[in-house]
Structure 1
Amino acid sequence: MKTTLLAASVAALLGCALACGPALAEGQYRNPDNTNPKDKGEGTYPVPYKKPVVAEVTAQLKAIRAHMDATTPTRIISKRTKQPITDLKTPNADAIFEPSDGDYGIQVYEMGVVHSGLLKAAEATGDQSFTAMTQRHFGFFAQTLPYFRAQEQKFHLERANSFSRFLDPRSLDDSGSMCAALIRARLAKVGPDLKAMIDTCSDWVINKQFRLGDGTMARKRPQEVSLWADDMYMSIPALAEMGRLTGNRKHFDDAVNNVMGMSSRMFNAELGLYTHGWHANLPDAPRFYWARANGWAVLAMSDLLDVLPKDHPGYPKVLAQLRASIKGIAERQSGSGLWHQMLDRNDSYLETSASAMFTYVIAHAVNQGWVSPTTYGSIAQAGWAGLSTRITAKGQVEGTCVGTTLAGDMVYYYHRPTSAEALHGYGPTLMAGAEIIKLVTNPAFEVQHKVRTYHYMPKGGQTDYREHH
């Protein structure tokens, strides 16, 4: 009942966020910022083309938070009987985390991004209830880690143990993203101190992950030595946060080294895009510019710059690389504000998770002064216009590509399914909405609606529209 009422209230709040002015037909919108209803020069749009309204963006973020909260239980049950297990002193071989309604694993890398997004939403809105789910999840981890450790010691379940990612991590996917989220929550004093989990996951990233000879993070799949652009996010933010947590500059050095090592092999400077992967034995293989891989890359660089000391010799290198990537990505934004599954292929479908990452990173870069607001502010705003249509009244995020491996043919990428149960879209969308709130309330510039479009101008900047007829 509580969830139903919340969904109903959120649906009412969304109102204009989803309909945005008088709709001519389904999927067609007028711009409510144009107060002249008879303006023949004003078009109609497939998305809500307008300056984002803070209350509406906040309502959508609250809807996502409510959906995540309602669909991620934190209980132990018997795999066999499905009944709750409350005895945390006697290990039971059948004990597992209660599965989520939406197949949202509470320790997977995608959930690390969700927690990072919730922390950012709390910061942007001032509403600390955004962190309640993080506190619940992390409190559950603190309570149950000793139980599942004892279960593993007694029954040797390995990957069947619900806590396996933090008892026996085996990849960057197991460790990096959640490690960064755990550190961010710890430094924000949200939830319990999970130092034991941080130690385990950071040890994997720092000391155990397979690497190239120059220290670049690598995998032994799908070929003997392969790089994945995804791994920029699965490693670099954790290294950066370890640098912030410990003050040890070697972690910042490692993070910068991985940005440059990955970029030297996977970034196409002519296009301004990252190929999904690179193989040591086939360095000249055809390149596939999968959108989410590019999202992981720019998100990783953005996260690093947030904590990298400005006097670090790698700071200008990472900033230059991020700027080059943002330019390449911005030039490929579609007419809906979203980006295509394959960035260089306009006949591939429009995909949500990458679009959310791009919207966040571009808006964040503007807010941080890394790129010009006059160049990129309206691009971030347009990204949110498209993204807002992918958020349902119930807080589901639609149109997200499901988990995708590093492949070698275009047919595979084109036909990856999309699903509202693909967790990859939720964290980035929370981050994007939070940053858009900061963008439209940033005191450093103003958003001008002139000649039916938007201009992000530094405060005090002088423009002249007298020649306009």
Structure 2
Amino acid sequence: MKAGRLLIGTLLACTSLHLIAQEAPPPQEKGPAAADAMLHALVVKYPNPYRAMEAAEVKAVMDRVFTYLDATTPAELIDKTSHAPIAKLDKANPNAVLKPGDFRLTSYEWGVTYAGMLAAGAATGDKRYTEYTTKRHQLLADLTRLYLPGVKADPANAQAPIKSFLNPHALDDAGALCMSFLKAKQMGSKVNYGQMVDICGKFVTEKEYRLPDGTLARGGPDGKGGNKQRPLTNTLWLDDMFMGVPTIALLGKDTGNTKYYDDAVKQVLQFSQRMFNPQLGIYMHGYVEGLRDHPELHWARANGWAIMAMVEVLEVLPKTHKGYKAVEDQLRAHAKGLAKFQHKDGLWHQLIDRNDSYLETSATAIYAYAIARAVNRGYLDKEMYGPMANLAWNAVASKVNAKGEIEGICVGTGMAFDPAFYYYRPTSTRAAHGYGPLLLAGAEIIEMNKKFKFGLNDSGFMYQGQR
């Protein structure tokens, strides 16, 4: 009995080990130590911090990015001829355009950035981030109110500062922006999103081309008796898992109509059935319905859009939904595959499974966000994936320069059938794709490291318990 009580006491004591890092047991031998006794404790020169950043450190990185973006993305109208400011929004002026900045306020990348700003504001308590999105959403709502009647009346010839949104032709024009509108609305924004959500929500759910089984696709009639080629008829881009599916799921929460949840689950599973490689645990970038073989090119950012889509769906999908477990299982399979390919310094390669392709920032930022979010929500084990997300965040943070620009972002990329296309895509600080993901990642890392303690255990970085 005494031995049993001792064992129970030992087990109970083990549950409190989250307070300190586990250390190696002290040596039992007496006398002078051998020359190799402390080699395991030598200082290691990691290229990026090998630790969990404090919340203030994470925010400092995000603040640099915010300062740059706030200064270079004006929410203003000007006359396209005179360049004079237009302050009064009382009529649909055909000469009005958005004042040019470094980035477009109605691109799909900026839909992600608006969501990132909202997440950053929630995680840090800094209202500047939330107000960044609210200000620009309000401008878009005002422009929609003024210009939508004219665009509806004459889609081909009407002039509008945000015509690509008011008259969308692809998921890129509508999906990510719609996601940001619905997120802001559900977080209590006072902007009237009714008209905008009606435009983009209907485009995603009713107007975008689909395969016969309902999967979102690129192609369809071109209006001239042929079919659109993007790049071929009936092509699936993995990117579209994100460009459409989170919006579909969020519409389920917004309307209470379960048909949207059903559709979101169907999209995830049908994209995955066609494009996920279960042996590698990652997705191909493109798929063409009807071909016998498909290009097994595993582009990193598209894989980011896929895993991000799944965490966004799980965020609003009721746990009682019949497809919940299938989506969660697919997320876990993808995260497990991505873990195998993370570079030693925390980034992922442009083509994930080709180590001679360059290391790319935007995909890594998306993975850091999605994996940290999945850890925080319990979809993934914190012990396994928390260190992976922290390593990725520290690598991404190192890519933010003094001006707040993010380096190493692959520019916009179509779908191709050969590796050269992906290997030689340029990178640029003006590639908008990395800014929203960095803000999302920073926000989720703050939440993760607030919830869980990570530190060194026998010199290895790992989970140490709940905070």
Q: Fold-level match, TM-score > 0.5?
A: yes
1:447 alignment counterpart: 454
- The structural deviation recorded for 1:150 is 5.5
Secondary structure, in 3 states, of the residue corresponding to 2:78? strand
Aligned equivalent of 2:280, options 271, 288, 308: 271
Post-superposition Cα deviations, 1:60-84, rounded to whole Å, max 9, x if no partner, equal 1122122111111122212222222
Max radius of gyration: which structure?
2
1:373 alignment counterpart: 382
Residue identity (%): 42
**1:210-289 counterparts in 2 under 5 A?**
210-220=209-219, 221-289=230-298
2:30 alignment counterpart: none
1:321 alignment counterpart: 330
1:411 alignment counterpart: 420
Post-superposition Cα deviations, 1:78-135, rounded to whole Å, max 9, x if no partner, equal 22222223454454432211111x1x11011111101111111111112222111111
Tell me, in whole angstroms, the C-alpha distance in 1 between the residues paired with 2:150 and 2:257. Answer: 35
Aligned equivalent of 2:372, options 360, 363, 377: 363
Post-superposition Cα deviations, 1:426-455, rounded to whole Å, max 9, x if no partner, equal 00000111111111110xx43231222211
Q: Is the 8 A contact 2:51 2:455 kept in 1?
A: no
Post-superposition Cα deviations, 1:359-413, rounded to whole Å, max 9, x if no partner, equal 1111111111111111111111111111110112322111110100011111110
Moved more, 91-100 or 144-153: 144-153
Q: Is the 8 A contact 1:76 1:96 kept in 2?
A: yes
Is structure 2 residue 168 aligned with structure 1 residue 169? yes
Q: Which TM-score applies when normalising by structure 2? A: 0.86
Tell me, in whole angstroms, the C-alpha distance in 2 between the residues paired with 1:457 and 1:451. Answer: 12
Is structure 2 residue 397 aligned with structure 1 residue 398? no
Tell me: CA distance 1:65–1:310, structure 2 relative to 1, closer, same or farther (3 Å): same
Tell me: CA distance 1:138–1:270, structure 2 relative to 1, closer, same or farther (3 Å): same
Q: Is the 8 A contact 1:134 1:191 kept in 2?
A: no
Post-superposition Cα deviations, 1:289-320, rounded to whole Å, max 9, x if no partner, equal 00000000000000000110000000000000
Post-superposition Cα deviations, 1:304-345, rounded to whole Å, max 9, x if no partner, equal 001100000000000000000001111100011011100011
Q: Is the 8 A contact 1:92 1:151 kept in 2?
A: no
Superposed CA RMSD in Å reads 2.0
2:392 alignment counterpart: 383
Aligned equivalent of 2:355, options 346, 359, 367: 346
Q: Structure 1: which 5+ residue stretches go unaligned?
A: 1-36, 461-469
Tell me, in whole angstroms, the C-alpha distance in 1 between the residues paired with 2:82 and 2:418. Answer: 43
Tell me: CA distance 1:266–1:154, structure 2 relative to 1, closer, same or farther (3 Å): closer
Tell me: CA distance 1:192–1:40, structure 2 relative to 1, closer, same or farther (3 Å): same
Post-superposition Cα deviations, 1:16-71, rounded to whole Å, max 9, x if no partner, equal xxxxxxxxxxxxxxxxxxxxx99862321121222211111011112212211111
1:34 alignment counterpart: none
- The structural deviation recorded for 1:201 is 0.2
Is structure 2 residue 86 aligned with structure 1 residue 85? yes
Is structure 2 residue 430 aligned with structure 1 residue 431? no
Q: Is the 8 A contact 1:122 1:129 kept in 2?
A: yes
Tell me, in whole angstroms, the C-alpha distance in 2 between the residues paired with 1:351 and 1:424. Answer: 11
Tell me, in whole angstroms, the C-alpha distance in 1 between the residues paired with 2:389 and 2:439. Answer: 14
Q: Which TM-score applies when normalising by structure 1? A: 0.86
Post-superposition Cα deviations, 1:128-157, rounded to whole Å, max 9, x if no partner, equal 221111111011122222333355478866
Tell me, in whole angstroms, the C-alpha distance in 2 between the residues paired with 1:255 and 1:312. Answer: 11
**1:53-64 counterparts in 2 under 5 A?**
53-64=54-65
Post-superposition Cα deviations, 1:162-213, rounded to whole Å, max 9, x if no partner, equal 2213321111111111101001111112241211000110000111111111
Q: Structure 2: which 5+ residue stretches go unaligned?
A: 1-37, 220-229
Tell me, in whole angstroms, the C-alpha distance in 2 between the residues paired with 1:83 and 1:90. Answer: 16
Tell me, in whole angstroms, the C-alpha distance in 1 between the residues paired with 2:424 and 2:89. Answer: 45
Is structure 2 residue 344 aligned with structure 1 residue 335? yes
Tell me, in whole angstroms, the C-alpha distance in 2 between the residues paired with 1:126 and 1:209. Answer: 37
- The structural deviation recorded for 1:252 is 0.4
Aligned residues: 420
